[in-house]
Amino acid sequence: MRIPIFVKLITLIFLFLIGTIFFFSQRTVGEFTTLLTLKEETANTNEAQSKLKETEFTVQNLIDKTSALAMPIAKKLLEQQNPDDNPELRESILLTPDLLSLEILRLGPQQELLQSFLLTNDERLEKNQYPKTFVEDLRRQVPFPVLEVFRNQMEIQNTSLANKFPVLTLGLPLIKDPQTKQVTSIVMANYLLGPVQKIFSQKKDRLIYLVDRRGQLLSHPNEASTLSRISYVGSPLIEKAISNQSLPNFQFEFFDPVEQRQYIGAYAKSPMGFISVSQIEKEKVLEPARQVRNEAVRIAGQVLALAFFISFLFSLTLTQPLETLSELIQKVSTGNFGIRAQVFVRSSDEVGDLAKNFDQMTVGLRERDKMKSLFNKFHGSSIAEALLKKEIGVGGTNQEVTIFFSDIRGFTSFSEKHTPEQVVEMLNEYFSVMVGIINKHHGVVDKFIGDAIMAVWGVPKNSPEDTRHALRACLEMRQALEALNNRRREKNQPPILIGMGLHSGLAISGTIGSQERMEYTVIGDTVNLASRIEASTKSFGTDFLVSDEVVKKGGDQFRFDLAGEVSAKGKEKPLQLHRVLAIKKENGDWREITTIYSSYEAEKSEKIKTAA
């Protein structure tokens, strides 16, 4: 279906505007969301710290009152005197605000727990409708970490009874044995929870509450929650506060698995053993950002409607010259590079510039067509880029290279037993795998010689890594051949065995040939030796051999094994050849790379004689 140019132009402008508006609106909303989040994080931290300070002040007053009341009693008990003989002491206890009971506990001679003194404020209990068995019920129903107090640690705990009697229990160490430093007497004071509850009673969008060092609720805006002594163990924020001893203050986002909501929260920890928490639903925080986004969508719709109308009017002035250029492009695509667009399009605006550029393009295409004819004379597309950049020219350059030869074992016999189509299919399948690996490891396939491959590393430019690239390629070809043979076995096809030879040295690289046919290749003794090394694999019954020069340049990244020496045809000095068995991994361990096709029955070669 043919789509008019003006429709495409309007669509392009429309999509561009949508993308631009979407990008800026998303960025604006994103930055606004970030600012809102940062604001709430700061507010959470400030609220948590503020409530913590208020609570610390209130609790410190309770500690001071408790210590002042309990210490004289503890001393009298230590002196084996009866505190009830001091009516002023009892009167001061009864007049202490919010105090429900005071209990002195001490350790006996056998480290057993003894109650030395208990005083209940019956008037206050009765006034607040607490049961007469208040202390006994408290001991039985709400365990208190008494032993922790005897370990010289202050403890504060919500010990509210029956979901309707708010109680805050404070445990303080009083007297220590001067020799063992062991706490021998402690005080447990039960107060009305009201003073602490009042600090957190105000209800806001932000939830602010107080827990003890174990995650047990001390105070909450919802008084019913406080009386229920809810445990916040399992809340990500509380778990973070309990487990992280090094951070007294911290804020982060978390997901509450119970409420299935995302929160922004912060906590502040007190040395007294409680944690102030402030958190708010992220959904509520981001509500203004959603409103901004909705408003941005509304404005964007209005802008797009106006832009659509203006673009439509503007596109009408471009349709004819653009359609003319489209027709000219179709003619150019057929190879007619002599067309001049400025003859047909005479606009003095950007469309006129486009026609001018069009003519410049056709000039470039004519030149490219000439170059294409030149490049068709060369084999190997990887050299074309260097030729286009004029990095190499006609002639030769003597440089360090690494030469690779490979050959398929038994190819002649395979060709005799199979049809030409099967032979071509096998070669195409084999070459596709091997050439891909050579290219992957920065090699250049120089030529195919029947079933053989000649490849080069180090042309047109060489590097210190050329030989190592070649070694890695050969080892990967070894593995790839195993995978290829597995696929061939599944199709009941015979496996392919190959021999690979690698040699490094100086060679002449450049273009050779005639005016009708040219190719980029490498020639020299290094090439001949690489071919002899590949042929030597038959004599040693292995798939891969390298020369001493390759071993030296491969370094300690590869593990080599001396296969032996050979006398190559035309060479006086024997060649030392090596097998390549493994490559070193990043952790320094060796990775063995051998397959069932890495070795086979040795054969004699006319070109190669093994040294005695």
Give Cα separations from 167 to 99, 177, 267, 403, 405 (angstroms): 10, 31, 24, 89, 90
User: Is the separation of the CB atoms in 508 and 553 below 8 Å?
Assistant: no
**What does the alpha-carbon distance between residue 58 and residue 538 come to, in Å, rounded to a whole number?**
93
Reference 58, options 184, 170, 205, 199; nearest CA is 199
Which residue is associated with the tokens 């050849």?
577
Q: What angle do CA 67, 70, 73 make, to 5 degrees?
A: 145
Q: Which token pair is 88?
A: 């002023």
Residue 268 CB-density burial (10 A; 0-12 exposed, 13-18 middle, 19+ buried)? buried
Q: What is the DSSP string of 198-238?
A: HHT----SSEEEEEETTSBEEE-SSHHHHHHT-B-TT-HHH
pLDDT value, residue 456: 94
Q: What angle do CA 536, 539, 540 make, to 5 degrees?
A: 90
Residue 556 falls in which region: left (phi positive, over 0), alpha (psi -120 to 50) or beta: alpha
Length of the chain (residues): 612
Q: What are phi and psi of 131, to 5 degrees?
A: -70, 155
Q: What angle do CA 516, 518, 520 make, to 5 degrees?
A: 175
Neighbour order of strands in the sheet with 261-269? 217-219, 207-212, 274-281, 261-269, 249-256
pLDDT value, residue 153: 92
User: Is the separation of the CB atoms in 412 and 517 below 8 Å?
Assistant: no
Q: Which token pair is 315?
A: 């596109």
The neighbouring-strand residues paired with 231 are 216
Segment (H or E) for 384 = helix 384-388
CA dihedral 439, 481, 447, 574 (to 10 degrees): 110
Which residue is associated with the tokens 């105000």?
202
Which residue is associated with the tokens 């406080």?
226
**What does the alpha-carbon distance between residue 137 and residue 146 come to, in Å, rounded to a whole number?**
16
User: Is the separation of the CB atoms in 44 and 50 below 8 Å?
Assistant: no
Which residue is associated with the tokens 């990043």?
586
The contacts found for 71-80 with CB under 8 angstroms, 24 or more apart, are 71/174, 73/102, 73/104, 73/117, 74/104, 74/106, 74/116, 74/174, 74/175, 74/185, 74/187, 75/175, 77/104, 77/106, 77/116, 77/117, 77/185, 78/175, 78/185
**What does the alpha-carbon distance between residue 380 and residue 384 come to, in Å, rounded to a whole number?**
7
**What does the alpha-carbon distance between residue 2 and residue 380 come to, in Å, rounded to a whole number?**
40
Segment (H or E) for 496 = none
Structural domain boundaries of the chain? 1-315, 317-376, 381-610
User: Is the separation of the CB atoms in 536 and 544 below 8 Å?
Assistant: no
**What does the alpha-carbon distance between residue 115 and residue 83 come to, in Å, rounded to a whole number?**
13
Reference 61, options 50, 69, 71; nearest CA is 69
Residue 522 CB neighbours (<10 A): 23
Question: Do the bridges between strand 452-457 and strand 183-192 make them parallel or antiparallel, or are there none, so unpaired?
Answer: unpaired
Q: Does residue 236 have a cis peptide bond before it, meaning omega lies within 30 degrees of 0?
A: no
User: Is the separation of the CB atoms in 419 and 428 below 8 Å?
Assistant: no
CATH 3.30.70.1230 fits 381-610, yes or no: yes
Average pLDDT per block of 10 residues along the chain, 612 residues long: 65 75 74 82 90 93 90 80 71 81 83 76 84 84 90 92 88 89 90 91 87 92 90 89 85 86 91 91 82 77 76 67 73 74 71 77 73 52 57 71 94 90 93 94 90 92 92 96 94 93 91 71 90 91 94 93 83 87 91 91 69 52
Residue 498 CB neighbours (<10 A): 23
